[in-house]
Amino acid sequence: NAGVTQTPKFQVLKTGQSMTLQCAQDMNHNSMYWYRQDPGMGLRLIYYSASEGTTDKGEVPNGYNVSRLNKREFSLRLESAAPSQTSVYFCASSELLVRSSNSPLHFGNGTRLTVT
């Protein structure tokens, strides 16, 4: 059972470069999320998708874009990377939005991104 698969696991970018983080889930979940995790801080929501075809900003969306390509896939794009975007990025999914349901979150293994 793959669950939530994120790629790549590690990435180093130079300031100004762009990249896309890929995420796919095989649990037929409606909702998907992108979080970033920084030392000493709780997870912060970047963007989320309540269902296929919809995306919404989270707490820290600046500098990022997302695409919900289909029900399985939710990608996160950094158009022009900055050192402040150095972080660990997690994709997650849930059957229904965690804001309004008892659905548990399922996480990918994370992407460690360094921007120099």
Partner 1 sequence: KNEVEQSPQNLTAQEGEFITINCSYSVGISALHWLQQHPGGGIVSLFMLSSGKKKHGRLIATINIQEKHSSLHITASHPRDSAVYICAVRRMDSNYQLIWGAGTKLIIKP
- Integer Cα distance of 19 and 78 in angstroms: 5
Q: Report how far residue 35's alpha carbon sits from residue 44's, in angstroms, rounded to the nearest whole number.
A: 5
Residue with tokens 């059957």: 95
- Is residue 27 near partner 1 by the rule CB under 8 A? no
User: Could you report how far apart the first and last alpha carbons of the chain are, in Å?
Assistant: 36
Nearer to partner 1, 57 or 79 (CB): 57
* Total of residues contacting partner 1 (CB under 8 A): 24
Of residues 19 and 50, the one with the C-beta less far from partner 1: 50
- The yes or no reply on residue 99 touching partner 1 (CB under 8 A) is yes
From candidates 54, 109, 114, 116, binder to partner 1 by CB under 8 A: 109
- Does 1 help bind partner 1 (rule: CB under 8 A)? no
Closest CA to 112 of 7, 34, 3, 18: 7
Bridge partners, residue 25, by sequence: 4
Residue ranges in 50-69 that form contacts with partner 1 under rule CB under 8 A: 58-59
Q: Note the helical H segments in 17-102.
A: none
| Residues found near partner 1 in the complex (CB under 8 A) | 33, 40-45, 48, 58-59, 88, 90, 92, 97-99, 102, 104-107, 109-110, 112
